[in-house]
Amino acid sequence: MTVYFDNAATTRVCEAATETMVRVLREQYGNPSSTHAFGREAAKLLEKARENVAKAAGAKPEEIFFTSGGTEADNWAILGGARQMQHRGKHVISFAAEHDAVLRPLEELRTLGCDVTLLKPDAAGRISLSELEAALREDTVLVSVMMVNNETGAVNPIPEIARLLKEKHAQALLHTDAVQGFCKIPFSADTLGVDLMTLSSHKIHGPKGCGALFVKSGTKLKPFLLGGGQEKGYRSGTEAMPAIVGFGEAARIGGENVRETEKKLRKLRTFTAEKVRERIPAVLFIGEGDAPHILSLSLPGYRSEVLLNFLDAKGICVSKSSACKRGGRSRVLEAMNLPSDVIDGAIRVSFSDENTEEEALYCADALCEAAASLRTARR
């Protein structure tokens, strides 16, 4: 039996997106910037995909700009936002549990003379509103806080952060990386209160190599790529049409079914946690299970790498932390001040709407077998 429980890393491309992509690759392959019939047809497909993504995100089509993925969108929001606001100040606030696609650009801002404040997560893995308020300064020009943590599933209070900035009359732009929340938990850009928001295709059953940045109407942002003026001059380069239409189709389906998907994922997450606890009473669950599709657990005293190898041999795909870390120790769990044995024994199980309770039972049984076998081997 093969079980794919690493959906926070990437998802299988859905059939509807695949079919749309193949059609664009083989038949509707025009350049949307061309003025002939093929080009005009491609331009219509591009705008339809933009409409689909916008609707799923609760945004206007003109607020969606396609990128090569979530990493580019994060980089554009952080570097472009700070550059746009540099005449007002050089202080940036973010979250120590952010993805590297946010933290690395923040490091770059430091080399450019910006003062960056990274707030620690609380015991549940969330940002503290009171600490954020205390960190705000007159020269704060950008606040970037992820919506859903990719390792623990902790959901941060983005609307509350937006209200806080408004109450304090802060000039700062507000950015959220919503990659793990998009089409997993219901939200709408027009009520979140953010100025910038990162989205990704391959986390919602779309293709890799495509994402988007939401830029709220009226928000000014420096272009990220210069060239032929595509994406209204913000992001030049011939659009990756097959990936974009696939993203659009996946977003259409994901947006239409988000509430049903959230309910199904939360039920499966709860079921999996219950079955694991029944079999391994010593298991620790990290965080409070905010997001419906991420289950972070730990077997203190075991090594996560060894557990992963055991499960892999059983055909079960889970992860240690973010896929981008490639085996490194979880910086997120360290920021939560968890004990070393908890961090070293942590694994992430992440679901999609394609997973089943049968797969969850198989995974729980295999994890129990791993614990018993590895415990015996250690004696």
Return the CATH number at 211. Answer: 3.40.640.10
Q: What is the CATH number of the domain that holds 302?
A: 3.90.1150.10
What the block records as the tokens of 238 is: 């011939």
pLDDT at 327 over 80: no
Same domain? 111 vs 228: yes
Closest C-alpha among 291, 359, 362 to residue 146: 291
The pLDDT of residue 379: 40
Question: What is the tally of structural domains in the chain?
Answer: 2
Show the DSSP H helices in 89-188 as ranges.
100-111, 129-135, 158-167
CB count within 10 Å of CB 277 equals 15
* Helix, strand, coil distribution of the chain in percent, nearest 5: 45, 15, 40
Is the domain of 263 the same as that of 290?
Answer: yes
71 closest CA partner among 214, 233, 210? 210
Supply angle C-alpha 260, 262, 267, rounded to 5: 100
Question: Catalytic site residue 324?
Answer: yes
Final residue belonging to a domain, choices 256, 277, 299: 256
- Do 223 and 346 sit in the same domain of this protein? no
Q: Catalytic residue, from 14, 183, 317, 324: name it.
A: 324
pLDDT digits (tens, 9 = 90+) for 262-318: 999 999 999 999 999 999 999 999 988 799 999 999 999 999 999 999 999 999 999
181 with 296, same domain: the answer is no
Which tokens in the block code for residue 33? 């910037």
> What is the maximal distance between C-alpha atoms in the chain?
73
Is residue 121's pLDDT more than 60? yes
Q: What is the pTM of this model?
A: 0.95
Orientation angle between helical segments 241-256 and 258-279, nearest 10 degrees: 80
Same domain, 272 and 350: yes
Task: State the DSSP string of 169-205.
Answer: T---EEEEE-TTTTTTS---HHHH--SEEEEESTTTT
Q: End of a domain among 201, 224, 256?
A: 256
For 325-361, give one letter per residue: b (16+ CB within 10 A) or e.
beeeebbbbebbebeeebbbbbbbbbbbbebeeebbe
164-197: pLDDT as tens digits: 999 999 999 999 999 999 999 999 998 999 999 9
Which domain does 343 fall in, by range?
Answer: 3-11+258-378
Segment 99-127 mean pLDDT: 96
* 273-277, Cβ contacts within 8 angstroms, sequence gap of 24 or more: 273/297, 275/360, 275/361, 275/364, 276/363, 276/364, 276/367, 276/368
Write the DSSP string, 242-258. HHHHHHHHHHHHHHHTH
